[in-house]
Structure 1
Amino acid sequence: MKVTIYDVAKEAKVSIATVSKVINNTGRISESTKERVYEVMEELNFQPNMIASALMGKQTKTIGLLIPDLANPFFSELARSIEDRGHELGYNLVICSTDYQPEKENKYLTLLKQKRVDGFILASGFENLDKVEELMKEEIPVAIVARDFPMFPINAVALDDFLGGYQAASYLVKQGHKKIAVIGRDLWSNRERIRGFRQALEENGLKYRPDFEFVKEINHIEAAKHMTTKYLNSSDRPTAIFACNDLLAIGAIQAAKEKGLKVPEQLSIIGFDNTIIATVVEPPLTTIAQPIQNMGKEVMDLMLSVITGKQKDKKRVTLLPELVERKSVVKLEETAHIDQTVSK
């Protein structure tokens, strides 16, 4: 027998109107009443017909989140923070992992439109500018997180990636490193990080490596191992590597160890993101931290302010990165006595 809104109201000892307000997150309802209604809905396995509501012009209380790679701890932690904030505000999240593939981006956008989601959050890695423009023309609420589209008037919560790259290079130079390599995928955020990285090098009279090339493999660790091995086999071997995310840094550490090198004594490595894996790898990873929890909260709040009509003008929020020192980078003079010959 199908459970109805009347059954929920009767069991929760509230009016039908109150249940409706709780479902649609409208009106002034006390937290205790909301919790009681939610508990009864769960006990009775009540599923509001959100699609029917959408067809009548009502909200489905659902947001579509497109991220490029759930296997990357940064994106899984970001998705969790967005989901947690959405739950606090009475919204559900549909998470789709696109694997950096435009075909999947198009497929999920079409599918979620059919499901009548109230809006889209697009994470770093989404490079399909035509689709972003299409969503804007259709006046579908959209917000960007962990990147920016400066060419569009669009709601965005981004990190100052340029500053993050600048911080990474400045720190390595301060530790005495002059031969510094980079590993990164060709994404807007990474391009900004590398731009900041290059500026810091130039300000210190150092040259950017001419043999740098963006990695193309989706598997971050294997891609980083391949690129690191290439650097270590070159005649101008670096003393430090800047990896544009923590997973790439892990791959660099693994490649160095497989070559018989000690990290950081013979090769210093700095990452980007400050995800949970930065604390469990050996040695613990020095990295540039993104405020992931704050980023998720900000973008969900921004999205809902658009959906509810509280915000009319487009808004950009730029958050600041922060260097987190651990043990994967060392001063060069502290390792002067170590033989740095690469094991063949």
Structure 2
Amino acid sequence: MNRSKRLSHSEIALALSSTKNPKTASSCPLTPIKQTRSIGLLLSHMQNSFTSLLVSSLTKELSALGYNLVVRDLKNDPQLLESRLTDLLQYPVEGLFLSEIELSKEQQQSLEALDLPIVSISTPISLAKADSILLNNRTTTEKVLARMIESGHRRIGVIASPQNTFITKEQLQGVTDAVYANQAFVEHIEFYYGDYSTASGYKGMQRLLDQEVTAVFSCNYKMAIGGLQALYQQELPIDRQLSFASFDYTGGLDSLYPNVTTIHQPIETIGKLAAHRISKKIQSQNQLTGATYIQYNTIHWQDKLIPTTKKVTLI
């Protein structure tokens, strides 16, 4: 196979559309140029702090290894996958990161035909040579919600992220797990679906307060800021009338709101691991077997989670 040939748009499009004809797919010159020292990053969106911090971490770690990062954004539109991938391969890139990209079975098979080193971040991928780097978002969310219930909160509100990525679905599943396991102690749970913005967090908190919740969990940092602004304007102190917890990618909530419980994701560790793995795959000419790596969040229990009723024992 000629690794020095530059791919045409039609050749890449053929690779992406030839899943049903493996013979045709394997006959195409699908491998990009060697030694370009460029790695592609295909993002679902750039709307949250996790994504921006991940780009920063990957850029730093790859630079130390002598690579540069080329970023393309799907803008939450799966229809852009083919054009964005074509753009990266034409760049060309030696390896590919996927972040919060959920691929169909056919799309995964098409990517496998490209024989490109791949590391998927935050979303599992079932390719023989691709790595998946995942977070324990479901279990940490469940743990925080269970603590709220254990502390006596009966009416709980959740400011949820759009349910279009594996991460956000896992977060909400953690909420469901905690409520289901302790349903005898939960009077009401209310969900408000935001759009990652502070404005949606602000509106969401107002809606949840209308439902007389006594504890709120935010699945996103920016929406948490909006929710806390709503509490401040209504002069509702955390720990006395309301408990609050959130994912916090930047550490900002810890310094500004010391009574808030926060979940911290190890983004720097993820960036370092992802850069190391993609480099190893490139050096081995993509001969390494794929693996799954679980990274663990840290919960900062700064919120006392003051009970609103008599403390209960979890079942």
Normalization by structure 2: what TM-score?
0.76
Residue in structure 2 matched with residue 24 of structure 1 by the alignment: none
What secondary structure, in the 3-state scheme, does the structure 1 residue paired with 2:191 have? coil
**Contact (CA 8 Å) 1:305, 1:311: kept in 2 or not?**
no
TM-superposed deviation, 1:68: 3.9
Are 2:157 and 1:181 aligned? Answer: yes
Equivalent in 227, 247, 254 of residue 222 of structure 2: 247
Equivalent in 68, 72, 76 of residue 92 of structure 1: 68
Distance 1:98 1:251, change over 3 A: farther
d(CA) in 1 for partners of 2:64, 2:145: 39
Are 2:168 and 1:190 aligned? Answer: yes
AA partner of residue 121 (structure 2): V
Superposed CA deviations along residues 106-162 of structure 1, whole A, max 9, x for unmatched, are 4322211111111211112x234354442222222221112324x555411111122
Residue in structure 2 matched with residue 319 of structure 1 by the alignment: 295
Unaligned runs of 5+ in 2: 1-29, 310-315
TM-superposed deviation, 1:86: 0.7
Are 2:206 and 1:226 aligned? Answer: no
Distance 1:71 1:200, change over 3 A: closer
**Contact (CA 8 Å) 1:252, 1:269: kept in 2 or not?**
no
Residue in structure 1 matched with residue 141 of structure 2 by the alignment: 165
Superposed CA deviations along residues 228-279 of structure 1, whole A, max 9, x for unmatched, are 2222223xx2111111122222122122233442234322211114423223
d(CA) in 1 for partners of 2:55, 2:200: 24
Kindly name which structure, 1 or 2, has the bigger radius of gyration based on alpha carbons: 1
Output the aligned Cα RMSD: 2.8
Counting only pairs closer than 5 Å after superposition, residues 241-280 of structure 1 correspond to structure 2 as 241-280=216-255
Distance 1:249 1:208, change over 3 A: farther
d(CA) in 2 for partners of 1:280, 1:152: 41
Name the count of aligned residue pairs.
274
**Contact (CA 8 Å) 2:37, 2:93: kept in 1 or not?**
yes
What secondary structure, in the 3-state scheme, does the structure 2 residue paired with 1:212 have? strand
Superposed CA deviations along residues 59-103 of structure 1, whole A, max 9, x for unmatched, are 211111123444532222222221111111111111234432324
Equivalent in 166, 191, 210 of residue 212 of structure 1: 191
What secondary structure, in the 3-state scheme, does the structure 1 residue paired with 2:302 have? coil
Distance 1:203 1:179, change over 3 A: same
Unaligned runs of 5+ in 1: 1-53, 335-344
d(CA) in 2 for partners of 1:283, 1:70: 28
> How high is the sequence identity, in percent, across the aligned residues?
25
TM-superposed deviation, 1:104: 4.5
AA partner of residue 91 (structure 1): Y
d(CA) in 1 for partners of 2:44, 2:231: 27
d(CA) in 2 for partners of 1:210, 1:184: 12
Q: Which has the higher contact order (CA 8 A, sep 6+)?
A: 2
**Contact (CA 8 Å) 1:147, 1:189: kept in 2 or not?**
yes
Residue in structure 2 matched with residue 80 of structure 1 by the alignment: 56
